[in-house]
Structure 1
Amino acid sequence: MDKPLKTPPPYPIASVDHALRAATILQMEGGATVSQIAERLGVARSTAHRLLAMLVYRDFAVQDEDRVYRAGPVLELAAHSQSLVSRLRAAALPHLHRVVDLLDETTNLIVRTGDTTRFIASVECRQALRVGSREGMVFPAHRTTTGLLLLAELTDEELEEVYAPERYRDRPAERPDLARLRTELRRLRRNGFAVNKERSERGLVAVGVPVRDRDGTSLAGLSVSMPGVRYDPHRLQPLVAVLETTARALEEDLAEQH
């Protein structure tokens, strides 16, 4: 049976349509300038500039040193395999709820794309003082718990490629010190877990472990986040034990789906 033709909504919002079309152009065609987007959409350059600025703000686009706009972390998630992300999220949610039941702290599932990490699932705890949902948010990989764990899986050559100086030509202050980062990643490989104390956000502490495929490749990271005032170092090992047990159970569920 043929699919029905798409019909436009009765009250279309032109600005939303323009933003979505601009995002699609960046994702499908690799990049565009303000003038090119303006021409394709049939809008003024000032309008195209405002659209692209909002896409950059929401991580749907980035602007490189030659002023060309390209797909940002949100759109690059497709390269990570959208089907894998959807499968990970669906399989993980029951496990995240169980961790929240056990620990009463907000629990997250995170994937890495290049030098960023994206929260693909988040379940809030019930405490009045809590870390809110981070679902959909993007952070620098080297500033998040599970981002560090996923970076620890890379070889020195792969790490160099992720943090190549030319990628940071217009934002050198955001490039981490690779010598210090390698030292930290070696320690994380030995430990098998990571602790983030106010590295990504003030007043927040997170603990995380990797979630692996059947061949041992890290697919994602599982973490709990809590206000720093509630973190007790003496709780670290029990927290890690719950996370590792949960990660193994999630891995088994994912393996059964193949």
Structure 2
Amino acid sequence: MKNKPPYPIASVDHALHLATLLQQEGPLRVSEAADRLGVSPSTAHRLLSMLVYRGFAEQRPDRYYEAGDVLRPAAASRAPVALLREVAVPHLNALMTAVQESVNLVVLAGTEARFVTTAECTQTLRVGSRAGRTLPARLTSCGKAILAAMPPDDVTALYEDADDVELASLRRELTLVRKRGFAINDQSTEAGLVALGVAIRDAKGCPIAGVAIAMPSIRFHRDRIPGWIRALAGCAADIEHDLELQ
């Protein structure tokens, strides 16, 4: 598993985080960037200026900054990412506190699972933040949970031209996920990491995101799955309820 460096360079971390936000979530003002990073507006302005200088960002006439040409185009997510984060964070933190493992909020972007935010637990051995990362949706717990909740024809349309995906095998796995009501990633994306995920649905019942508990494999025990899934389902339901109130 990847752990945070013992001597992180804060300015580099902030710049990379900011570039990720511009790419995946869209334009930001200096004040919004400062709030997201937890830094002063002057620091956010300096970071944005450097990103502009290197081509990672552009400043628009309305004083918003947007992703520059250097950042590769990323598949757009249909989920309301900013609203999801705002609504979900308190519930993710509550779930993390209850289970004492890291918790991720994930959306689907094409055939990728995009990690929106992480509530990172405080255990010495833990799964660190995955915020901003993208992984093949068919391998991640949340990705599989979202795919399983989609109409089968939509899944076929996503993967019918993917040479590296055996569609029949994927369909069988998603059928099992639907039957169970949750998905599992048992070291499919990273050695030593296990995750359990469920889908989050909108008011019409369509999957828009997923929430997952991620843990070191050494702490994964199958007899604890029912309790973890109850906690995940409760978290997803709370997020769905608050989304309906917006």
Say yes or no: TM over 0.5: yes
Structure 2 partner of 1:72: 74
Structure 1 partner of 2:110: 114
Establish whether residue 131 from structure 1 lines up as the match of residue 120 from structure 2.
no
Aligned partner (choices 173, 181, 190) of residue 184 of structure 1: 173
Structure 1 partner of 2:194: 205
C-alpha separation between the residues in 1 aligned to 2:218 and 2:193? Answer: 8
Q: CA 1:130 to 1:182, structure 2 compared with 1: closer, same or farther past 3 Å?
A: same
Q: CA 1:17 to 1:245, structure 2 compared with 1: closer, same or farther past 3 Å?
A: same
Measure how far apart 1:24 and its partner are.
5.0
C-alpha separation between the residues in 2 aligned to 1:178 and 1:164? Answer: 7
The TM-score, its normalising length taken from structure 2, stands at: 0.73
Measure how far apart 1:158 and its partner are.
1.8
Measure how far apart 1:25 and its partner are.
7.0
Q: How does 1:81-92 map to 2 (within 5 A)?
A: 84-92=80-88
C-alpha separation between the residues in 2 aligned to 1:12 and 1:215? Answer: 42
Q: Please give the per-residue CA displacement for 1:209-240, whole angstroms capped at 9, x wherever unaligned.
A: 11111111111101000000110101000000
Equivalent pair of 2:52/2:68 in contact (CA under 8 Å) = no
Q: CA 1:102 to 1:162, structure 2 compared with 1: closer, same or farther past 3 Å?
A: same
Secondary structure, aligned partner of 1:179 = helix
Q: Percent identity?
A: 33
C-alpha separation between the residues in 1 aligned to 2:107 and 2:187? Answer: 20
C-alpha separation between the residues in 1 aligned to 2:51 and 2:116? Answer: 29
Measure how far apart 1:154 and its partner are.
2.9
Structure 2 partner of 1:196: 185
Tell me, which stretches of 5 or more residues in structure 1 are unaligned?
1-7, 27-50, 52-59, 62-70
C-alpha separation between the residues in 2 aligned to 1:90 and 1:113? Answer: 19
The TM-score, its normalising length taken from structure 1, stands at: 0.69
Measure how far apart 1:15 and its partner are.
6.9
Secondary structure, aligned partner of 2:149 = coil
C-alpha separation between the residues in 1 aligned to 2:201 and 2:55? Answer: 39
- Structure exhibiting the larger radius of gyration computed from Cα positions: 1
Measure how far apart 1:12 and its partner are.
5.0
Measure how far apart 1:100 and its partner are.
1.1
Tell me, which stretches of 5 or more residues in structure 2 are unaligned?
1-44, 59-65
Q: Please give the per-residue CA displacement for 1:104-147, whole angstroms capped at 9, x wherever unaligned.
A: 00001100011001111101101000000001111110010010
Structure 2 partner of 1:141: 137
Establish whether residue 242 from structure 1 lines up as the match of residue 231 from structure 2.
yes
Q: How does 1:1-258 map to 2 (within 5 A)?
A: 13=50, 16-21=53-58, 24=67, 51=70, 60-61=71-72, 71-73=73-75, 76-77=76-77, 80=78, 84-165=80-161, 168=162, 172=163, 175-257=164-246
Q: Please give the per-residue CA displacement for 1:133-177, whole angstroms capped at 9, x wherever unaligned.
A: 001111110010010111113333322221132xx5xxx4xx221
Q: How many residues align?
A: 194
Q: CA 1:16 to 1:182, structure 2 compared with 1: closer, same or farther past 3 Å?
A: farther
Secondary structure, aligned partner of 2:55 = helix
Equivalent pair of 2:107/2:113 in contact (CA under 8 Å) = yes
Q: Which runs of 4+ in 1 moved over 3 A?
A: 11-17, 23-26
Identify, as 1 or 2, the structure richer in helix.
1
Q: CA 1:97 to 1:17, structure 2 compared with 1: closer, same or farther past 3 Å?
A: same
